[in-house]
Amino acid sequence: MPQKCLFCDNKSGSHEHLWPAWIHSLVQIKTPIRIQIGAKPVQISPDPELTIKTVCGTCNNGWMSALEEKCIPIIGALVQDQSTPLDDSQKELLSAWALKTAMVTDSTNKRREPFYERSERVKLRENYTIPDRTIVWIGRASKSSLAALGTDVWIDIPPILKVAKSTATTIIVGHLVIQVFSIHVLSGHLQNDAAITAVQPKPGPWDDTLIPIWPIDGRRVVWPPKLTFDTVNHGPLSIAVLLDRWKIGQKAP
């Protein structure tokens, strides 16, 4: 039986494209794509038009399409490697688009229930509300590409283990890199909320490679940051370093 849409009570199955046509027109990927979910074997698909069946046609062609249209001028410039200033309203739109992409990517993991709660997904649909305990950063990739990768990690506050669960979604669209990090504090540990939300990633060159855009802090920022992630070679600025950034605590099942 078809499941409910991620964002509403309609039935899912509209074959939503993870990457819309306007992104494919800017980032023309000709090579096969690698798909891996959890510990499953890597699959190679010749079709870069990856479709997701977890949303309905109403959402796909309605609020999701409208969000894409609003973000095209912002994301389009970053994707094409154009130095771009961002004000608060642009940062908010870009963060909402990043959360939408993170939620859709998260829904492809069939080994577990979706990380983002239904109430969080509905609020994003209704008014672009970003979930609590969520941070969004943007950076620059040396080579234009497309990727969406997720990592689930338990957060420990020693000596207490597994006080919260987090997910980090790394999105690469052209030269634009986005990382979304969200935390869910487990029931019974809300008294540790301040310590949990202050958790830090692994040490790295984050101040020079990533620009925080959510929560809004009122500062106008200019992309790209000082340093660029290398998407071709391994090294201290390799994109693999960013993917490994939040692998802290215990690995989530």
Report the distance separating Cα 114 and Cα 186, nearest Å: 15
How does pLDDT run across 210-227, given as a tens digit for each residue?
A: 999 999 998 889 999 999
Report if residue 187 sits inside a domain: yes
More confident residue, 140 or 40: 140
Range of the domain at 24: 16-251
Report if residue 164 sits inside a domain: yes
How does pLDDT run across 184-204, given as a tens digit for each residue?
A: 999 889 898 999 999 999 999
Report if residue 121 sits inside a domain: yes
Of 214, 128, 229, 213, residue with least CA distance to 176: 229
Domain count across the chain: 1
Report if residue 155 sits inside a domain: yes
Report the distance separating Cα 135 and Cα 157, nearest Å: 20
Report the distance separating Cα 60 and Cα 16, nearest Å: 6
Report if residue 11 sits inside a domain: no
How does pLDDT run across 133-176, given as a tens digit for each residue?
A: 999 999 999 999 888 888 898 999 888 889 999 999 999 999 99
User: What is the percent of the chain with per-residue pLDDT over 70, rounded to a whole number?
Assistant: 87
Report if residue 217 sits inside a domain: yes
Alpha-helix residue ranges (DSSP H) falling in 110-243: 118-127, 193-197, 206-209, 239-243
Report the distance separating Cα 103 and Cα 119, nearest Å: 12
- Looking at the whole model, is its pTM more than 0.75? yes
Report if residue 6 sits inside a domain: no
Report if residue 5 sits inside a domain: no
